[in-house]
Amino acid sequence: MVIAHEVSMLLAESCDKSVADIQAAALLGKTFEQIATLEQRERFISWLDRRAKREPLQHIVGHAPFRFLDLKVGPGVFIPRPETELIIDESLDFIRRQKIESPRIVDLCAGSGALGLSAAQEIPTSTVWAVEISRDAYAYATMNAQQLGIDNYQLLCGDATDPQTLDELDASIDIVMSNPPYIPEKDIPQQIEAREFDPQLALYGASLDGMRIPREIIKRAYALLKTGGLLLMEHDWKQGDDTREFAQAVGFSTAYTRQDFAGKDRFLCVTK
């Protein structure tokens, strides 16, 4: 099903206009032919057809919003989700509370660059390192960093769970942020857009309970953080207890779980 708001967005994008322009034209009683040229109308109809076949809107238009950023996305890269934005709010609160002037931040499992690039943009005094294993996603994050002109951000193509990745930064980082793959292997997403268009590598946590990669990220974050540093990691709504218990077993001190917009357990927040 294509919802009305998506139709407005597809029409606006196919005409290189804003949604507000399209709504204003509709209020003035303008016809489809008056709003869009023949080429734009054809593009809109073909985009509508793709969307009706459940291709994500963000793939069709080629970009997605995340906080203050507009990120290029497409096949091979995870589309950033609104709930992940809460990790940046938590980071900003921590930096303010701790009065950290030039925070050193690592984003493990960077995807399009959503978390790390937002941190780098919203905290200009920060230095951000990010790691992504997929060549396709790495290419998108690199392009996003360049196009946004964000230069306090360094991206590495590698395995974020490998203890040697960024080991030169061990014990020196203020915040590790991560939205790793965490879906349990058998919990195949019902939503067609996620199941068929998000890369498998971005979804599944590589074990029946989906916790294999999140556990490795917790261990890697512990090594990267300085004493008092913060790990913020998104997880499946059923993984709140397991992630807290595992983090404490690794050595983290305070551990709590934050909820998403739907009130479900979604983020591990732990300090070293």
Ligand X SMILES: C[S@@+](CC[C@H](N)C(=O)[O-])C[C@H]1O[C@@H](n2cnc3c(N)ncnc32)[C@H](O)[C@@H]1O
Candidates 12-20, 21-29, 51-59, 178-186 — which segment interacts with ligand X by CB under 6 A?
A: 178-186
Q: Find the shortest distance in angstroms from Cβ 137 to ligand X.
A: 4
Contact call for residue 175 and ligand X (CB under 6 A): no
Say if residue 181 carries a ligand binding annotation: yes
Q: List the Cα angle 122/124/125 in 5-degree steps.
A: 130
Candidates 22-30, 49-57, 154-162, 250-258 — which segment interacts with ligand X by CB under 6 A?
A: 154-162
- Quote the radius of gyration of the chain (alpha carbons, Å): 20
Say if residue 179 carries a ligand binding annotation: yes
Pick the binder of ligand X from 55, 159, 170, 242 (CB under 6 A): 159
Contact call for residue 180 and ligand X (CB under 6 A): yes
Contact call for residue 78 and ligand X (CB under 6 A): yes
Per DSSP, what are the bridge partners of residue 65?
Answer: 70
Pick the binder of ligand X from 56, 74, 111, 240 (CB under 6 A): 111
**Which pairing describes strands 255-259 and 265-271: parallel, antiparallel, or unpaired?**
antiparallel
| 3-class secondary structure per residue, 144-205 | HHHHHCCCCEEEEECCCCCCCCCHHHCCCEEEEEECCCCECCCCCCCCHHHHHHCCHHHHEC
Binding stretches for ligand X (CB under 6 A): 78, 80, 84, 109-112, 114-115, 131-134, 137, 159-161, 179-181, 201-202, 213
